[in-house]
Structure 1
Amino acid sequence: MNGYLYAFKHALHFSGRTQRRLFWEFMLIHLIASAGVIYVEVATDNLGWIDLVYSAITLLPMLSMLTRRLRDTGLSMWWFLIVLVPGGVAVLVFLMALPSTVSQSELTL
């Protein structure tokens, strides 16, 4: 739950880094919540507005978490665009699972 709350508290912070644990906590709760929203829509024959609202609410937290997590792995934030090519989502999941890197500036005191 900490990762989910962290994502919303830092939704407008695209600088810095996000640890792997916080990112995956956010993703797990986000996927469970998304499944719940879809279940409610199917059960009530809804036209999809609940999912649209939930997606709009979580768009900025998702983008900021992705950006900071990519930076934590040593990659540019623009790598999130890989989802636009076939198989890109699988590549992005792999990149999100990479361990954190330590930058040269963090090594020097």
Structure 2
Amino acid sequence: MSWYLAVLKNYAGFSGRARRKEYWMFTLFTTIVAMVLLGIGAAGAAADVPALFALVAVYYVATIIPSLAVTVRRLHDTGRSGGWFFIAFVPMIGGVWLFVLTLLDSQAEANEYGPNPKFAGMAPGQVPVAGYAG
């Protein structure tokens, strides 16, 4: 839940880097909330289909900017510009390509978007333990 709230607090922050954990925890929590809202809508509006999806639509509209921001920061963490987000609009393979890009590991060293957030608490010159997943 703290990862989700951290993304919402950085509502429109498109600069910097986002770890895989931050991105995927936000995505997981967003999906869970949408499913719960869909369930509430289904229970309250058995015959009214537009009302069924209204709660989920309002939620997705409210979280579209934080979702875009965390995706751009995730791409920054892999060393790519946020413009790579638009690869998702390529038919058939674009969404898969963006999915793979969000799965890639962070650049271990600092890049043009900032230092690696995975190692932010380490002392300068300290070497991370091999296989450290953070």
Match of 1:51 in 2: 56
Q: CA deviation at 1:56?
A: 1.1
Contact 2:75 2:102 in 1 (8 A): yes
- 5+ residue gaps, structure 1, are none
**TM-score of the two chains, using structure 2 as the length reference:** 0.71
| In 2: Cα distance, 1:22 partner to 1:72 partner | 11
- 5+ residue gaps, structure 2, are 116-124, 126-134
Superposed CA offset, 1:36-62 (max 9, x none): 223333442341321221011101110
1:66-105 mapped onto 2 (5 Å cutoff): 66-85=71-90, 86-101=92-107, 102-103=109-110
The two structures, once aligned, show a CA RMSD in angstroms of: 1.9
Contact 1:14 1:64 in 2 (8 A): yes
Identity of matched residues, %: 34
Contact 2:79 2:111 in 1 (8 A): no
Q: CA deviation at 1:29?
A: 0.6
Matched, 1:22 2:22: yes
Q: CA deviation at 1:21?
A: 0.9
Query: Aligned letter for 2:66?
Result: P
Q: CA deviation at 1:104?
A: 5.4
Contact 2:4 2:25 in 1 (8 A): yes
1:23-38 mapped onto 2 (5 Å cutoff): 23-38=23-38
| In 1: Cα distance, 2:33 partner to 2:98 partner | 21
Q: CA deviation at 1:87?
A: 2.4
* Structure 1 stretches of 4+ moved >6 Å: none
Contact 2:3 2:25 in 1 (8 A): yes
Larger radius of gyration between Structure 1 and Structure 2? 2
Match of 2:3 in 1: 3
Question: Cα gap change, 1:99/1:54 in structure 2, threshold over 3 Å: closer, same or farther?
Answer: same
The answer to which structure has the higher helix fraction is 1
| In 2: Cα distance, 1:94 partner to 1:14 partner | 20
